Amino acid sequence: MTRWILGLGVAASLAVPPASAQVAAAAARKASEAAAASTTATPPAPNVRAEFADPIEAAQTLFREGKLAEAQAKLAVAAAVAQLTPFETMVLERTRAALAQRQGQSAVVISSLEAAMATGQVAKADEPSLIEALVGVSAKEKDHPRVLKWAQRYIDIQGPNENVPLMRIQSQLATGDERGALAALSSRIGASDAAGRAVPEAQVRLQWQLQRRLSDAAAEATLERLATRFSKQEYWAALVAPVAQRAGDNDRILIEAFRVLRATGGLSDADAREGMVETALRLGQPGEALAVAEEGMAKGLYPKGPRASNQQKLLDQARKAAQLDQADRKAAEAAALKASSGEALVDLGWAEVAALPVGAPAGSAQRGLALIEQGVSRGGLKRPIEAQMHLGVAQWLVGRKDAARATLRATLELAQSAKDPMLDAVRLWHLFASASTTP
């Protein structure tokens, strides 16, 4: 039983890069282009001297024509003018930055833009593009202290490019400030949520990874968000793993973990499939065990590997038990209909639903659902929370999704108030039904 749980532990680690280098590189390119565009036109000039204006305008014209060497020569002439004013210095340095950017001289771009900003002559409207360029080029050069400095300035002036705060977070991570990075990222995600803006999966995933690393209590809720919003098998596997681990020897909880894993496409190896087949057989669900094994056979996943002989034995056992179960079906159903308790009706109905292959037509579960509904209505159930949970799952499978969500939500509330052992399992199914899509 522990083999497949250990496998899920690996899935739950979900190696996530500290931040997207591709995002930073793309932002750096865009920022540098913006810097170049903003530096090729001389701003309205108060008292610019002719001996400076003529060569600097010539340098900008040559730059636009792609004549970089000639532009560099004219720039040198402008730089040689004595006693440049702060405004002239600003124009000179911005033009120098544009040339350096085109020539791939990142260090010159950075020093020139910082010199331009230091003059105090950069127009307010131009500040965001220049600072964005500084952040982008600094990020490309992995100059994290400079990224942190200028990204904060960009945030303070409410610059519009959302990649800049992300690059700041990346530099926080690179300098070991994981808590600061998490705080900044969580604030950013919270603001997007409040404004009704979609949050990219990469940001939520990074938030979860940092929360786990820092033992933040919000990590579980973030993982639930990943699973229900983006619905990838790896997120569901990470949700299921701790439930399976906490289940211990409780097969009734363990099988529900397997069922959610199966429903989300997570039975991806022979060990996990073997674990579900074995658990289903112990619980007297041979039809389900056989369906799980046959699905694996169809995909070439079962029996397979060093435990193939044991898996084959379980398959043979499931086939034999399922045949006996089917032969006794009519008598068992007749007895259940006569019983004062609805327990047997629920069990028979759920056995029929659980034995369906993944992706079966919605109508296939209708008969099983009807039996479960009769059993729940009759009452006298030993495990009412579990019965209600199975009712919700069956409703989902027949396409009654709103009813399924309502049933599972109500069941979750009951399980929480009663501190029922099935609480973890009910929460998994409730999340499954709440997901925008499923894998």
**What's the pLDDT band for 265 if we cut at 50, 70, 90?**
very high
Do 131 and 153 touch, CB atoms closer than 8 A? yes
Q: Which domains does the chain have, with CATH numbers?
A: 21-176 (1.25.40), 270-327 (no CATH), 329-439 (1.25.40.10)
Mean pLDDT on 284-306: 96
Query: Backbone dihedral region of 122: left (phi > 0), alpha (psi from -120 to 50 degrees) or beta?
Result: beta
pLDDT of 19: 41
Inter-residue contact 318 to 277 (CB < 8 Å): yes
Determine the length of the chain: 439
The predicted pLDDT at position 283 comes to 98
| pTM score of the predicted model | 0.83
Determine the Cα angle at 321 with ends 320 and 326, to 5°: 100
Q: Which two tokens stand for residue 2?
A: 């522990």
Residue with tokens 């109508």: 363
- Neighbouring residues of 155: CB distance < 8 A, sequence distance ≥ 6: 164, 165, 168
Instruction: Tell me what pLDDT residue 67 has.
Output: 97
- The phi and psi torsions of 349 (rounded to 5 degrees) equal -65, -45
Instruction: Indicate the residue type of 129.
Output: S
**At residue 392, does pLDDT exceed 60?**
yes
What is the CB neighbour count within 10 angstroms for residue 226? 22
Phi, psi of 356, rounded to the nearest 5 degrees = -70, 145
Please classify residue 66 by burial: count the beta carbons closer than 10 Å to its beta carbon, then call 0-12 exposed, 13-18 middle and 19+ buried: exposed
Q: Taking residues 315-331, what's their average pLDDT?
A: 97
Query: H-type helices in 302-422, by residue range?
Result: 308-327, 329-338, 343-354, 366-378, 384-397, 401-418
Model confidence pLDDT, tens digit, residues 10-48? 333 333 334 445 545 555 554 445 544 554 444 555 678
| CA–centroid distance for 21 within its chain | 17
Q: How far is CA 361 from CA 55, 346, 397, in A?
A: 77, 21, 8
Q: What are the structure tokens assigned to 147, written together?
A: 């990224």
Cβ within 8 Å of residue 352, ≥6 positions away: 287, 365, 367, 368, 371
Residue 184 one-letter amino acid: A
For 154-200, write each residue's pLDDT tens digit: 999 999 999 999 999 999 999 999 999 999 999 999 999 999 999 99
- Measured CA to CA, the distance from residue 115 to residue 106 in angstroms comes to 14
CA distance 123 to 108: 21
Residue 419 carries which DSSP code? Answer: T
Question: Which of 140, 147, 192, 131 lies closest to 24 in space, CA to CA?
Answer: 140
Show the tokens assigned to 5: 């749980």
> How many of the other CB atoms lie within 10 Å of CB of 263?
20
Distance in angstroms (rounded) separating the CA atoms of residues 433 and 396: 7
CA dihedral 359, 255, 8, 393 (to 10 degrees): 40
pLDDT band at 436 (very low <50, low <70, confident <90, very high): confident
Cα 278 to Cα 301: distance, rounded to the nearest angstrom? 16
Q: What is the pLDDT of residue 14?
A: 35
Does residue 138 carry a pLDDT above 70? yes
Least confident of 18-22, 51-55, 382-386: 18-22
Inter-residue contact 287 to 351 (CB < 8 Å):
yes
- DSSP secondary structure letter of residue 365: G
Q: Closest Cα partner for 96 from 120, 121, 115, 122? A: 115
Q: How far is CA 228 from the centre of its chain?
A: 9
Q: Which amino acid is at 421?
A: P
CA dihedral (69, 74, 75, 81) positive or negative: positive
The predicted structure's pLDDT at residue 47: 76
What percent of the chain shows pLDDT beyond 70? 90
